[in-house]
Homo-oligomer: A and B are copies of this chain.
Amino acid sequence: MSGAATREQIVEAADRLFYQRGYEHTSFADIAAAVGLSRGNFYYHFKSKDTILDAVIESRLAGTRHMLQQWENEQPTPGGRILAFVEIVLTNGADIQQYGCPVGTLNTELAKLDHSMRGQARGLFTLFRDWLREQFTLLGRAEQADELAMHVLAFSQGVAVLSHAFRDEEFVRREVGRMRDWLSTYGK
């Protein structure tokens, strides 16, 4: 197998396992087994666990940028785009119920571990924050844009944590409904 393809498979498997089991709870052996590699060969591709985490975060950043771009293409209005973000707790509802928000849980884990990659993980939040701020600015709320962006982020994190803890889809639907009503007062 070519080096690049193997590397990609490793990042993919690590990404999934870090999300489902958490970073610290995932061992090299787990990732190697998922890809079908021996532990020894692993170090040819990544020399440390931190390096894999770095690659996983980079991959998630790229994936997030792609998703935000897609929302911009699909949704002509900034209000529609913000709503697309809000509804992600339903779109990815099953995963969030089982594993929480991939951004929130990674940030929480790395912050608690005081991990060196903590800042990189926060960049995932910042990506959403900046994008939301841009949409609120387009809605003519430039002055409060960052505050509103953080409010929407807080909504998604609160819903994700409780959805993960209680596994209650009706609760998620209700909260999305509340947020939709709140958003409608800010125009399309």
> What separation, in Å, do the CA atoms of A109 and B111 have in the docked complex?
13
Q: Mark A142-172, 1 if CB is under 8 A from B, else 0.
A: 0000010011011111110110111000010
Copies of this chain, complex-wide, total 2
CB-CB under 8 A from A108, the residues of chain B are 100, 105, 108, 161, 164-165
Q: Is A20 an interface residue (CB 8 A)?
A: yes
Minimum CB–CB distance for A73 against chain B, Å:
28
| A165 and B107 contacting across the interface, CB-CB below 8 Å | yes
Query: Whole-angstrom distance from the CB of A115 to the nearest CB of chain B?
Result: 10
**Which of A21-29, A42-50, A75-83 contacts the other chain?**
A21-29
Q: Which of A111-164 touch B at CB < 8 Å?
A: 111-113, 122, 125, 147, 150-151, 153-159, 161-162, 164
Residue of B nearest to A171 (CB): B150
**Cα–Cα distance between A156 and B159 once the two chains are bound (Å):** 10
Do A153 and B157 contact each other (CB < 8 Å), given the known contacts A25-B24, A108-B100, A174-B147? no
Identify 6 residue pairs between A and B in the complex whose beta-carbon atoms are under 8 Å apart, listed by A's number. A108-B108, A147-B174, A150-B162, A150-B171, A158-B159, A161-B161
Beyond A25-B113, A107-B165, A109-B109, 15 extra complex contacts between A and B, CB < 8 Å: A22-B24, A99-B112, A100-B111, A100-B112, A104-B161, A104-B165, A122-B165, A150-B171, A150-B174, A151-B175, A151-B178, A153-B158, A154-B161, A157-B157, A161-B161
